[in-house]
Amino acid sequence: MRTNIVLILLCATLAAGPISAAQGDPDWPCIQRKVPELSLGQIWNGPELPAVAFGWSKDAGVTELVEELAARRLPLKQAQQEIVAFAKGLPEGARKERLAMLVQGLFDHMNRERSDVISGIGRYARGQRDMAAYLRRQASEVDALRAKPDADPNAVQLRNDQLVFQTRVFQERAQSLTYVCEVPTLIEQRLYALAKTITEILAAR
């Protein structure tokens, strides 16, 4: 029985390890470097955007398209095709301005989404760190209970079973971080690809 508790503690410690990530931020559990916000220059290689681009949210058509293109459930290739179709449907005199609005809208929307995900990862990591400390305390208490000469075997088994279950939940949450940590990068890559499509459209005209 004691061996089981030692293994549980070991698993909890190993799973909690990434929480104390490098970079000096104890709330950042990911291997990927933490970059809370992007700059437009990181994803946009086209001409400088005109001031009108910042008013993208006042354009219902652009706003709707931004939300649609940003959704990762929409395959990237299909999103790029929608950008091409959008550009083809624009009057020549309004094409550059509205495509600039689309770039700014995608950047503002997806950069904000990415920052929200990063904040959520930090909260998730803090919860895991607190849970790891809780599991270690519970394991010590179970060991202490088992060491008592008059300990009720049924009570000890119940506490041990509860600890095993809680540790399994902890480990599943730790494993899911592998995917969650990739989400900011996936958003950034999608944003870059969409912006590149717009750059190519502008360059072709």
Identify the pLDDT of residue 120.
Answer: 92
State pTM to two decimals. Answer: 0.77
Identify the pLDDT of residue 126.
Answer: 86
Identify the pLDDT of residue 64.
Answer: 97
Identify the pLDDT of residue 205.
Answer: 63
CA 19 to chain centre: 15
pLDDT digits (tens, 9 = 90+) for 84-130: 999 999 998 899 999 999 999 999 999 999 999 999 999 888 888 88
Q: What angle do CA 174, 125, 114 make, to 5 degrees?
A: 105
Spell out the per-residue pLDDT of the chain, length 205, in tens: 443 544 454 454 444 444 444 456 777 889 888 999 999 999 999 899 999 999 999 999 999 999 999 999 999 999 999 999 999 999 988 999 999 999 999 999 999 999 999 999 998 888 888 888 899 999 998 899 888 888 888 888 999 999 999 999 888 888 888 889 999 999 999 999 999 999 999 988 6
- Say if residue 42 is exposed, middle or buried (CB neighbours under 10 Å; 0-12, 13-18, 19+): middle
Selection from 145, 138, 146 nearest residue 165 by Cα: 138
State the DSSP code for 53: G
